[in-house]
Amino acid sequence: MPGESGRVLHAQLHLLDRQLIDQADGHLAGKVDDVELDLDADPPVVTALITGRERITARRIVDITTAVTVSVEDLDLDYYDDWVENHVIAKIPGARHAPE
Amino acid sequence: MKKVLGVTLGILTAIGGFVDIGDLVTNALVGARFGLHLAWVVIVGVIGICLYAEMCGRVVAMSGRPVFDLIRERLGPRTGLLTLVASFLVTLLTLIAEIGGVALALELASGVHYLLWMPLAAFAVWLVIWRVKFSRLEQVFGLLGLLLVVFAVALFTLGPDWGQLLHQATRPHPIGHENWATYAYYGIALFGAAMTPYEVFFFSSGGVEEKWTRSDLVTARSNVFVGFPLGGLLSLAIMGGAAVLFLPAGIKVETLGQVTLPVAVALGKLGLAIVLIGVFAATFGAALETALSCGYTIAQYRGWQWGKFVRPREASRFHVVIIVCLVLAMLTLLTAVDPVQVTEYSVVFAAMALPLTYLPILIVANDPDYVGEEKNGPVRNAFGLVYLALLTVASAAAIPLMIITKGGQ
């Protein structure tokens, strides 16, 4: 947790396998696959969340409710989604339009 | 006034959307073989789906999280993955059966072989998912599905001996040359048809699609507590018609044409036309729901962007899953497997996947982090636990019974 807020959380219950949400656009951005802890600190603090191959440092965590909102900025959480979008979905007519 | 209209519309949609190919085939088949001696299972199943769908609706309205989010969160990645594989395969099998059902309904209406209709049906399902807004898709097919009420009209027109039907319904045991093994097997099939996992995946994801909040709890509950039981009555009418027409003659139901026959006999050509439109709408609507549910389950397990509330390109992996599933369904049906038999197996496999689907819902409906003050009370929890035990027994007995009865022979 960011030092200043210092919420006490049960890492397994409140963080692991939670939905990640991109603060910028509200899009779903993967799951918390793992949690990195600093065990030297007392009590231990969460230093980062791991999703896929990306590491999200604790300072990027904006909010923790039933999902975890993060500030994605330069992290590439949408790599595979963008790949599928550019190679498959965007080629189908109507992919840019909202359904009616 | 607008609110009342919305609630009414929701209820009507829920009734029309309740019945799918699994309910149509299983209820008619069971009615023809067992009369109403298994009718109690439909009632038990409807209470079960009401109980758990209400919990899902509450969790979605209070937390905005759909069911499969919770399954991974509460069961962990490994058991969650097992649940994902099981419920995804069952949902895919159901999708295959629904698309087969759409094609069979078109064959009955046109005389053109269903395998020629099938690619067109699959393409139409994809096109609707790709282009049509969520709320519209749900309402159109739900309301058209209400035409299945002709099954109830037909039952009254056939003028059955009501005393005898009641006699059957209150005697829960096998009859004729049926034994307890086939009786239990088809009991589990009916249970699976009424509580199919995709119903809660679709119901809860639909809540997110329509951006439910606390104020939508009334709508969610009225859909569940009024719409589903009335949908269950339709199931019983289908069973009753088959019991009246086929049981005395000793005829087994093996085709979709036979499922609709009681209506044709009672109400003639007009009745047949109405029931065919109803069957088309019900199976097409369920094909949409199962195709979407295939995408919902995988995307929610993996945390991908999903849903029709964003443009297709923003949920690209979700849409790819749906396209791949529809292609797989098409290829499976092209092997000329009998869609009615696929349906029979799909409801039994659905029964097997039930406990893992419903356990996380029960856990989270008690978690104040998710539902705030709207936690389950002791009565709901007692019912929830009883059903979990029932589901576990049904799930464990499904495969042995399938082997003993050779698939219900």
Tell me, what's the pLDDT at A6?
60
Distance from the Cα of B135 to chain A's closest Cα (Å) equals 10
**A81·B64 Cβ contact <8 A:** no
**A20·B369 Cβ contact <8 A:** no
Residues 6+ apart with CB under 8 A from B239: B27, B28, B30, B31, B36, B38, B39, B42
Tell me, what's the pLDDT at B110?
96
At residue B143, what are phi and psi to the nearest 5 degrees?
A: -70, -40
Look up residue B275 and give its amino acid: V
Interface of B with A (CB under 8 A): 63-65, 69, 72-73, 76-77, 80, 130-134, 136, 299, 302-306, 308, 310-314, 316-317, 319-320, 369-370
- Predicted complex ipTM exceeds 0.95: no
Structure letter (DSSP) for residue B400: H
Q: Which of the four pLDDT bands, split at 50, 70 and 90, describes residue B68?
A: confident
Task: Tell me the C-alpha distance between A13 and B376, whole Å.
Answer: 20
**Domains of chain A, first to last:** 11-91 (2.30.30.240)
pLDDT at B28 exceeding the cut of 50: yes
Mean pLDDT on B101-122: 97
**Model pLDDT for residues A13-38, shown as the tens digit of each residue:** 788 999 999 999 899 999 999 999 88
**Do residues B94 and A61 touch, judged by C-beta distance below 8 A?**
no
Tell me, what's the pLDDT at A7?
67
Task: Tell me the C-alpha distance between B306 and B319, whole Å.
Answer: 8
**B63·A66 Cβ contact <8 A:** yes
- Helix boundaries (H) for B197-338: 197-209, 217-222, 228-245, 256-302, 316-334
**Do residues B48 and B390 touch, judged by C-beta distance below 8 A?**
yes
Q: Is B274 helix (H, G, I), strand (E, B) or coil?
A: helix
Q: Which of A28, A88, A95 lies closest to B303 in CB terms?
A: A28
Mean pLDDT on B175-185: 93
Tell me, what's the pLDDT at A2?
43
pLDDT at A3 exceeding the cut of 50: no
Mean pLDDT on B341-361: 92
- B301 to chain A: closest CA residue: A31
**Do residues B34 and B231 touch, judged by C-beta distance below 8 A?**
no
Among A13, A15, A19, A35, most B C-beta atoms within 10 A, so best to mutate, is: A19
Q: Which of B64, B77, B308 lies closest to A66 in CB terms?
A: B64
**B314·A27 Cβ contact <8 A:** yes
Q: Which of B130, B302, B320 lies closest to A84 in CB terms?
A: B320
pLDDT at B189 exceeding the cut of 60: yes
Mean pLDDT on B381-395: 96
Tell me, what's the pLDDT at B118?
96
Tell me, what's the pLDDT at B152?
97
Tell me, what's the pLDDT at B17?
79
**Model pLDDT for residues B203-230, shown as the tens digit of each residue:** 999 999 999 999 888 888 988 999 999 9
- B133 chain-A contacts, CB cut-off 8 A: 99-100
Task: Tell me the C-alpha distance between B11 and B327, whole Å.
Answer: 33
**B312·A92 Cβ contact <8 A:** yes
Task: Tell me the C-alpha distance between B125 and B294, whole Å.
Answer: 13
* CATH T-level topology, domain B2-404: Amino acid/polyamine transporter I (1.20.1740)
Cβ neighbours around B155 below 10 Å, total: 25
Give the residues across from A51 on adjacent strands.
A54
**B313·A30 Cβ contact <8 A:** no
**B369·A30 Cβ contact <8 A:** no
Q: Which of the four pLDDT bands, split at 50, 70 and 90, describes residue B142?
A: confident
What is the DSSP annotation of A7-71?
Answer: ----IIIIITTPEEEETTT--EEEE--EEEEETTSSS-EEEEEEETTEEEEGGGEEEESSEEEE-
Cis bond upstream, residue A43 (ω within 30) = yes
Q: Which of B308, B311, B370 lies closest to A66 in CB terms?
A: B370
Mean pLDDT on B19-31: 96
Q: Which of A31, A88, A96 lies closest to B303 in CB terms?
A: A31
A25 or B17, higher pLDDT: A25
Q: How do beta strands A61-64 and A54-57 pair?
A: unpaired
Q: How do beta strands A61-64 and A45-51 pair?
A: unpaired
B392 or A15, higher pLDDT: B392
B166 or A65, higher pLDDT: B166
- B308 to chain A: closest CA residue: A99
- B308 chain-A contacts, CB cut-off 8 A: 99
**B65·A17 Cβ contact <8 A:** no
Tell me, what's the pLDDT at A1?
43
- A90 chain-B contacts, CB cut-off 8 A: 313, 316
- B76 chain-A contacts, CB cut-off 8 A: 16-17
Residues 6+ apart with CB under 8 A from B330: B99, B118, B119, B122
**Model pLDDT for residues B90-106, shown as the tens digit of each residue:** 999 999 999 999 999 99
Look up residue A97 and give its amino acid: H
Worst-scoring range by mean pLDDT, A90-99, B232-241, B309-318? Answer: A90-99
- A31 chain-B contacts, CB cut-off 8 A: 72, 302-303
**Do residues B394 and B197 touch, judged by C-beta distance below 8 A?**
no
Distance from the Cα of B288 to chain A's closest Cα (Å) equals 15
Mean pLDDT on B187-197: 94
Closest alpha carbon to B20 in B77, B105, B83, B80: B105
**Do residues B260 and B151 touch, judged by C-beta distance below 8 A?**
no
In total, the C-beta contacts within 8 angstroms joining chain A to chain B are 84
Query: What mean pLDDT, rounded, does chain B reach?
Result: 93
Q: Which of A28, A51, A84 lies closest to B316 in CB terms?
A: A84
Tell me, what's the pLDDT at B1?
65
Give the residues across from A34 on adjacent strands.
A50
**B65·A19 Cβ contact <8 A:** yes
Greatest Cα-to-Cα distance within chain A, rounded to the nearest angstrom: 56
B14 or B347, higher pLDDT: B347
Look up residue B50 and give its amino acid: C
Tell me, what's the pLDDT at A5?
54
Tell me, what's the pLDDT at B71?
86
For the CA atoms of A52, A56, A58, A64, what is the dihedral angle to 10 degrees? Answer: -60
pLDDT at B132 exceeding the cut of 90: yes
